[in-house]
Amino acid sequence: MFVVLLHYLKPIEEVERVVVPHRAYLDQLYKDGVLLASGPQIPRTGGVLLAKGMDKEDLWELLHKDPFYTEGIADYKLIEFDPIKHNAVLKDIL
């Protein structure tokens, strides 16, 4: 499982220009079962993704297709972790 931290490299006006295609890209990752959750950081300096079901190299490959990456809007930091403790409602998801 991964926590992906996005950090915006451009002003928020440029971020907003790419939000719609970025979210459409994330929608596909949800359909593919890669993402569990996503959203902007508060304050809005970047975003956070929760991902599962693949190795780090495959996830990097997917993230490099994100419009935020291809347009130079954000950089990414991947934190891999093992969710050995979790709420029971997540048992079948994890």
Q: Model confidence at 87, in pLDDT bands (50, 70, 90)?
A: confident
pLDDT at residue 3 greater than cutoff 90 = yes
- Which CATH class, in words, describes the domain spanning 2-90? alpha beta
Say what percent of the chain tops pLDDT 70: 100
For the four alpha carbons of 94, 50, 84 and 56, in that order, the dihedral sign comes to positive
pLDDT at residue 31 greater than cutoff 90 = yes
Residue 77 gets which letter from DSSP?
E
Residue 1 gets which letter from DSSP?
-
Q: With 0.75 as the threshold, say if the pTM is over it.
A: yes
Say what percent of the chain tops pLDDT 90: 87
pLDDT value, residue 86: 85
